Structure 1
Amino acid sequence: MRPTGVEVTRRALLAGVGLACTSCGSLPDVPSVAPGRRLSGVLTSQARGGLRCGWTIAWPPGRRRGLPVVVVLHGRGNDHASAFSSDYLALDRYLARAVGLGTPPYALAGIDGGEAYWHARADGDDPAAMVVDELLPLLSRHGLDTGRLGFLGWSMGGYGALHLGGVLGPSRVAAVAAMSPALWHEYADSAPGAFDDAADLAANTVLGRQSDLDGVAVRVDCGDGDPFAPVTRDYRAGFDVPPAGGIEPGDHELAYWRRLAGQELAFLGAHL
């Protein structure tokens, strides 16, 4: 979804929808730098029941082959293009600026994950398997180093980054950065459709499983006005060593995610 300028309802926020609330804060301009090469295509995902899923790879300016890669997981209501669109997150421009300022170069890649909250569902939709079994081989074929990855996500994708980072563990994942992760303690509080049932939430929650990320560099950020802030505080408190990031002024909105984008990308680059 694109910014509308209409205030986002609390219900939409609790549903983890990646909408912009431009009335809640000024929307930063994207960096006025030239991005590197961007390549998009379509993957027919067997893990998602034969759905045709769009994908994009964004390289920084300059070298392209052999770079490590960060997989970007979008929020609910978004798609793979939201990460790179100049009227949404424009991460390719933030990446170009970060690399220009000295961050070690790496590529970004996103793919359409639908609204299944980046884990296997009872109906057979499995966007997590799509990422691991289908997207990563595609990235390797395009000359990227997928030996140890980074994950970055916002809202639903923030949860997904933490979940997939923990599932794959430190042998496959170097760093994870989550902005405004959609987290709930109880199934009754979760967004409709986020989990199949209470058992699905219990099987796939990241709460209480922070040790799965031992050996992975972790950053978790959330705005203090975000409905997910209380559970995010609890999640951050569950680490033996506090993760980078924190609870900063902000809301569940595009303006907040743009303000953080440069910091998130520099963090990931430092640990890949």
Structure 2
Amino acid sequence: MRLSRRALLSTGAAAGVAGLAGVVGLETGVLPGRARVHDVLGLTGPDGVIPDVPAGPVVSGTFDSFGRRTKVGYSIICPDGYQLSDHLPVVLVLHGRGGDHTSAIRDLGIDRYLTAAVRAGTTPFALATVDGGSDTYWHRRVSDEDPGFMLDQEFLPLLANRGIDTAQYGVLGWSMGGYGALLYTALHAWQRRVRPGARAVAVGALSPAVWRRYEDVAPGAFDSREDFDGGQLFGRQVSLRDVAVRIDCGRDDPFAGAAAELRKELQTAGGQQAGAHTQGYWRRMLPAQLAFLGGRLGS
């Protein structure tokens, strides 16, 4: 059957409209697959490349954690040319879901990014990673497992005993750890006003796992609606008013919308760049995050 010229034109116009609608749907998030399409088109940006510089010394160990109810591993990472005996300030590093204290080096190459940051002029500091649990979301759970208690009451004192300067420290995390870094800092910055001690002065979050509605949360992230409400990051401007905050999130990240709202509410540094919820994006943003944190530790 032969189509008339008018039918062909009508069919072509309809296809064009459908194609345009598909593009608009992808760009507005109405249709799934935007991040995949943008990745194919090269619109999510390049992956970060681990710097070709020496890694500094890494001291690792374990301790029995009352807060975590288990033995946890940790690593203290110094930039090349420095040792624990140099009494460096520290940034706590909180891993993402499914990770552990080795993830920062294994997946992101953060040890070499640290050396590169210091060589670029950032105040020398150490990084301290610790096992927060593969899916605890770095907050107290109904099981009484409490990674925040572990960080504040066990890990920071351990670091101080190893020669690290914990008087003023930073916190950095990605994905689950990005949420945890912001929540932990908000809770403990508030407590420090009435209980002197080590004080967080800066926090950086990469692609923080933040939701506005309990119905949207990932399975297992929270124990209940009450748990979700108690762990909300929105509405904590007062708690974080004395802390420098940087939040970065890729435009094609599923958390981009909530992260942008949170950044606006808190009036933070950072932004929304080309990128998705990937290690490549986190590596690309590490230099800016480490420079931000080192700058606050050195001020």
**TM-score (norm: length of structure 1):** 0.87
Aligned to 1:168: 188
Moved more, 151-160 or 64-73: 64-73
Equivalences, count = 248
Aligned to 1:152: 172
Aligned to 2:80: 61
Secondary structure of 1:169 counterpart: helix
Matches within 5 A, 1:215-230: 215-230=242-257
Q: Tell me which of 121, 124, 127 is aligned to 1:105.
A: 124
- Which amino acid is the alignment partner of residue 165 of structure 2? D
Matches within 5 A, 1:198-209: 198-209=225-236
Aligned to 2:155: 135
Distance 2:249 2:112 in 1: 22
- Which amino acid is the alignment partner of residue 53 of structure 1? V
Q: Deviations over 1:149-186 (max 9, x none)?
A: 10000000000110011111175111000000000111
Contact 1:75 1:154 in 2 (8 A): yes
Aligned to 1:52: 71
Aligned to 2:292: 267
Q: How much is the aligned-residue C-alpha RMSD, in angstroms?
A: 1.8
Aligned to 2:142: 122
Contact 1:148 1:173 in 2 (8 A): yes
Secondary structure of 2:227 counterpart: helix
Q: Higher helix fraction: Structure 1 or Structure 2?
A: 2
Secondary structure of 2:50 counterpart: coil
Structure 1 position 73 matched with structure 2 position 100: no
Indicate the structure whose relative CO is greater, using CA pairs within 8 Å and at least 6 residues apart: 1
Secondary structure of 2:248 counterpart: strand
Secondary structure of 2:233 counterpart: coil
- Which amino acid is the alignment partner of residue 203 of structure 1? G
5+ residue gaps in structure 1?
Answer: 1-20
User: % of aligned pairs identical?
Assistant: 47
Matches within 5 A, 1:230-249: 230-239=257-266, 242-249=267-274
Distance 1:137 1:178 in 2: 23
Q: Tell me which of 281, 285, 299 is aligned to 1:256.
A: 281
5+ residue gaps in structure 2?
Answer: 1-38, 193-198
Superposition deviation, residue 204 in structure 1: 1.3
Bigger radius of gyration, 1 or 2?
Answer: 2
Q: Deviations over 1:196-240 (max 9, x none)?
A: 10101111111111221101111000000001001111111212x
- Which amino acid is the alignment partner of residue 264 of structure 1? Q
Aligned to 2:115: 96
